[in-house]
Amino acid sequence: MLRTEERQRLARERREEREKQHAAKETQILEKERKAKLQYEKQLEERQRKLKEMKQKEEQRRAAVEEKRKQKIEEEKERYEAVLHRTLERSQRLETRQKRWSWGGSVTPDSEGKTASRRSPSTANLKQGEAAVSKRLSSSAALLNASDRTRRSQLSPLDSSVISRLLAPTQAFLARSKSAATLSAD
């Protein structure tokens, strides 16, 4: 009987030992699973943090690129406006110059009165000389035009306009004629 009890006790102890070992293994497995789960969650959080940082950097880069693009557009717009402004100024200067050197002198009626008050008697003679020169020029131009009309009727409109432009007196020619008339009047 003692042996049977002893065997049963030893068997119970072995069973308890196995159960303890089994429980310890299970605890280890559960601990490993818990650590793995924590590590996975940590990696997941790290990945999400990195993705968020990358997204922010990408948004900042896009914003910088967009800002640069807007700045470039603004600079091009300013450059275009400056070119346009310069072109307008040049054309206005050119118009003013052309008005100053037009056939009839100054275009504005008021400018004649202003310049007349500043003229000396010698400039008045110059004005008379100019009138004589322009009379001579207009009469010679009329003679030329009358003889050339028959020839021009046979030309194309483009050739006709080129020829009429070439036959018209130039500003330099008129200036020389005026100075010659002034010298001859003196």
- Tokens representing 23 are 């429980």
What is each CA distance from 87 to 79, 80, 93, 161, in whole angstroms? 12, 10, 10, 28
Per residue in 92-118, pLDDT tens?
Answer: 888 887 777 655 544 444 444 444 444
Q: Which comes out higher in pLDDT, residue 146 or 163?
A: 163
* E strand residue ranges, 17-100: none
* pLDDT at site 69: 95
119 by DSSP, 3-state: which? coil
Distance CA(69)–CA(5), nearest Å, equals: 94
pLDDT for 37-86, tens place per residue?
999 999 999 999 999 999 999 999 999 999 999 999 999 999 999 999 99
Question: Mean per-residue pLDDT for 158-180?
Answer: 72
* pLDDT on residue 160: 72
Q: Which of 102, 120, 122 lies closest to 182 in space, CA to CA?
A: 122
What is the pLDDT, as a whole number, of residue 113? 47
**pLDDT the model gives residue 118:** 47
Each residue's pLDDT tens digit, 115-137? 444 444 444 544 555 555 555 55
**Closest-CA residue to 181 (of 136, 119, 116):** 136
